[in-house]
Structure 1
Amino acid sequence: MSLHVSRHPLVLHKLSQLRDKRQPPVVVRNLVTELTLMLVYEAVSDFQLINAGEQQTPIGPYDHVRIGTRVAVVPIMRAGTGMLEGVLGMLPGAKVHHLGIFREQATLQPVEYYNKLPQTVEVDVCIVLDPMIATAGTAVAAVNTIKDWGCKRIKFLSLCAARPGLERLQEAHPDIEIYVSQVDDNLSEDGYVMPGLGDIGDRLFNTD
């Protein structure tokens, strides 16, 4: 199954708090980090474990294991960087490659302005971070860029997605896995998820 929508009570509780427009930026940032931690927990459930040799507990020996899957985290700037702490808290050894893509307001089309992907692909999977999937123009463009780079296994993490955008992303890239906290049914005329989270970038970084 390529789409994973959380049903966990704690995720829905935290997301409901995040929706509240009264939350100050520090609370918004903390909630985004907490929600991302819970999403990434689910997203890495199929990662490979390898035996790293024998180690000792205070009582005796045990077989030490670690994650063997090589991971790159790709936050879509700027809002995706707000999710980065949550992923690195779980996967501190992951590589981080930033992509800068913004949605042109008049046309709602994606514009790439920054690409920090290296020359060669030395990872097994990319975890893409974007708190919102609205029209999915940015999401589709980001996945296009990552596939063109050469990484074919992609997991996309988002806190809240509009159903029309999800359908567009799945149609464009049916082979990726998408993990979201919740799906909202509608988009506003100017392309925002309804009821959504508002402009999550502004809320994260205390800007207008």
Structure 2
Amino acid sequence: MTGQVHHVSHPLVQHKLTLMRDATCPSSDFRRLLGEISMLLCYEVTRDLPLESTPIETPLEPMMAPRIAGRKLVLAPVLRAGLGMLDGMLALVPAARVAHVGLYRDPATLQAVEYYFKAPPDVADRLVLILDPMFATGHSAVAAVDRFKARGCREIRFVSLLAVPEGLAHFHAHHPDVPVWTAAIDRQLDDHSYIRPGLGDAGDRMWGTK
């Protein structure tokens, strides 16, 4: 971990990410692997959730047992690639609420443009996990966090598959209070703002489009 960036270096995460990076990985495997990595990232990003004791009856005796305290999480995939991370997260926290953030990158300015937003009415009272596989320029990440902060959210975490130093620097210049969990911090952005070495366009590889 460096500052507000948590690099998840678990061997299973790194192995599965290598399989995803391979240009010969078919869409079906790419989607499956992204779901598996997302489940492992969910384990890491929720490891400090508060617990409370509650009375239960085991088959043998009563006891006080721990359970997660407070309101349920909100999972917020950034459309469209973020949808590939949702099922893996929901596999671990099936009761989580789901928000959707629609953003696209203007090809001329590289700025994020919002076209859709939907969140639970009490989202401000919940921990929000924003999901987007590719953390490139950081513009979409900033825009997504801006939107949730405008709704009054105070607890926000960002979860990605790949990030680059310049994108993380841009993001934390705007939101130094929001931590990022990522499976890899790649070398740099190229002249077209693609992550290098990267894995290509996550949305296209996930859905078989170009």
The residue aligned with 2:64 is: 63
Determine if contact 2:98/2:120 at 8 Å carries over to the other structure.
no
2:186 aligned with 1:187, yes or no?
no
The residue aligned with 1:99 is: 101
The residue aligned with 1:156 is: 158
Q: Quick one: distance in 1 between partners of 2:192 and 2:49?
A: 38
Determine if contact 2:141/2:171 at 8 Å carries over to the other structure.
yes
Q: Match of 2:55, as an amino acid?
A: G
Q: Quick one: distance in 1 between partners of 2:116 and 2:195?
A: 25
Task: Deviation per CA, 1:133-173: give whole Å up to 9, x if none.
Answer: 00011000000001111111111000001111011111111
Deviation at 1:8, TM superposition (A): 1.4
The residue aligned with 1:176 is: 178
Q: Quick one: distance in 1 between partners of 2:128 and 2:50?
A: 14
Residue-pair matches, total? 207
Task: Deviation per CA, 1:103-144: give whole Å up to 9, x if none.
Answer: 112221100000102444353310000001000110000000
Q: Quick one: distance in 2 between partners of 1:22 and 1:123?
A: 43
Runs of 4+ in 1 over 4 A off after TM superposition: none
Q: Match of 1:43, as an amino acid?
A: V
The residue aligned with 2:201 is: 199
Determine if contact 2:124/2:151 at 8 Å carries over to the other structure.
no
Of residues 139, 150, 169, the one that matches 2:141 is 139
The residue aligned with 2:118 is: 116
Q: Quick one: distance in 2 between partners of 1:69 and 1:11?
A: 29
Deviation at 1:50, TM superposition (A): 1.8
SS at match of 2:34: helix
Deviation at 1:10, TM superposition (A): 1.5
TM-score (norm 2): 0.94
Query: Taking every aligned residue pair, what percent have the same amino acid on both sides?
Result: 41
The residue aligned with 1:51 is: 53
2:7 aligned with 1:5, yes or no?
yes
The residue aligned with 1:83 is: 85
- Unmatched tracts of structure 1, length 5 or more: none
TM-score (norm 1): 0.95
Q: Which moved more, 1:184-193 or 1:120-129?
A: 120-129
Structural mapping, 1:10-29, within 5 Å: 10-29=12-31
- Unmatched tracts of structure 2, length 5 or more: none
Determine if contact 1:47/1:69 at 8 Å carries over to the other structure.
no
Determine if contact 1:6/1:181 at 8 Å carries over to the other structure.
yes
Determine if contact 1:72/1:123 at 8 Å carries over to the other structure.
no
